Structure 1
């Protein structure tokens, strides 16, 4: 049986954004998901059903649909990001309790996301968390190579001078925790709380028992509040 890594030594706290800093059941990403399907359908001139299949295939193979569209179809990232992030952020509500818990954690707090900085700004503004993070590493900083690509994590670590053996990573996709764990980070998988319906692919909800997942929580705010009392 594995012995999960702890947090006593952590001085850098790394957070994914979507479905991590806000609950899965908000289904904000569902809006983006729909916009992606529309973009693929229009760009490739295919039916919505065919576009959906292509979208999900690229998502699994390339890390993001955008990367697949760029690699195979010459899509420009700026055009793609501008289109798919035209969504309604109003379902997000301020979370001052999470903000307080994050503030109490010792050291730096960073965001590592496959989204764009513009999207990050809008989400953090709605959550009331804008001032709680020291830096954001987005898909543009990653030169459009998304997690879980190992080079993306290394770029992030190098740019922000992060010692992975003194860092913790919070993510909603277990596959995006494989490399962080290999690098020495303490890993936390954020899962739905089960109280409300979530719109996710089955594979996106897998991995709770994976060896590279040290901790699992369905209540990130409560989990961080507990950590703040321990570290």
Structure 2
């Protein structure tokens, strides 16, 4: 028993206990073309469903995404009224998911890491499920935080500003989503995540920078350049092992100590 306790104490404690992943342009590359189709659908929705002049749509999309993290959240903030499910059905439900193919390499990488794995996406649950299914990763994650997790049916917000409102102050959106710090804090509570023991993967530099403020260790996917708030940077999610070798090092050390422990306990000592 003394030997067992001694070796148990020698097993190294991993720096991480959870891996938190964005979905779009993170688990699959931007080059797949799916995001471009999503953007096209958003613009079409704005024209056909919200009667926004086509000449203004592109500029609006860029600005709303910049201000709010998603065009949807921005549209809500400035007073547009629409049904959440209808929006997601139009924007995500018509996507050419056949662009995505099974990714056995990523599946193997994820399965080789004995850490809890959680999805954290601004997209709706149907889209997340479809993407994970197409990539063959449906059984790789322990929990999913998505649009429905953070948002109940939202109400229209009065976007008009009072005469006393400071110039430049953005109207608040009723939609909770990244890169809002509130979205991260809610996700932590829902999935019982300790941010100080969690590695976060996302393609958005704004999401990454907010994540860093919450205590998460960050991995910027889609770029090899380090910026403020970025702990690790990798061009492809397939480069996890090269970019964050400590994940596997801690696993291997733990296995080595456990193996030594087993041998020491089972080997009889002769007087």
TM-score after normalising by structure 1: 0.86
Question: What is the total number of aligned residue pairs between the two structures?
Answer: 211
Ranges in structure 2 where 5+ consecutive residues have no aligned partner:
1-12, 152-174, 251-271
Q: Is the 8 A contact 2:132 2:138 kept in 1?
A: yes
CA distance in 1, matches of 2:35, 2:201: 17
Q: Is the 8 A contact 1:40 1:55 kept in 2?
A: no
Deviation of the 1:209 alpha carbon: 3.2
- The match for 2:52 is 46
CA distance in 2, matches of 1:221, 1:50: 38
- The match for 2:215 is 184
Q: Is the 8 A contact 1:190 1:218 kept in 2?
A: yes
How big is each residue's C-alpha offset from its partner over 1:95-115, in whole Å with a ceiling of 9 and x where there is no partner?
Answer: 111111111212210010111
Q: Does 1:159 align with 2:190?
A: yes
CA distance in 1, matches of 2:31, 2:215: 31
- The match for 2:147 is 139
- The match for 1:93 is 101
Q: Is the 8 A contact 1:16 1:111 kept in 2?
A: yes
Over the aligned positions, Cα root-mean-square deviation in angstroms equals: 1.8
- The match for 1:230 is 249
CA distance in 2, matches of 1:136, 1:176: 17
**Structure with the greater alpha carbon radius of gyration:** 2
Deviation of the 1:84 alpha carbon: 0.2
Q: Is the 8 A contact 2:223 2:233 kept in 1?
A: no
Question: Counterparts in 2 of 1:45-84, with a 5 A limit?
Answer: 45-71=51-77, 72-84=79-91
**Alignment counterpart, residue 230 of structure 2, candidates 199, 213, 217:** 213
Tell me whether 148-157 or 95-104 shows the greater mean CA deviation: 95-104
TM-score after normalising by structure 2: 0.73
Could you say what secondary structure the match of 2:148 adopts?
A: coil
Q: Is the 8 A contact 1:14 1:168 kept in 2?
A: yes
How big is each residue's C-alpha offset from its partner over 1:2-52, in whole Å with a ceiling of 9 and x where there is no partner?
Answer: xxxxx9401100000000000111121111100000001123323333122
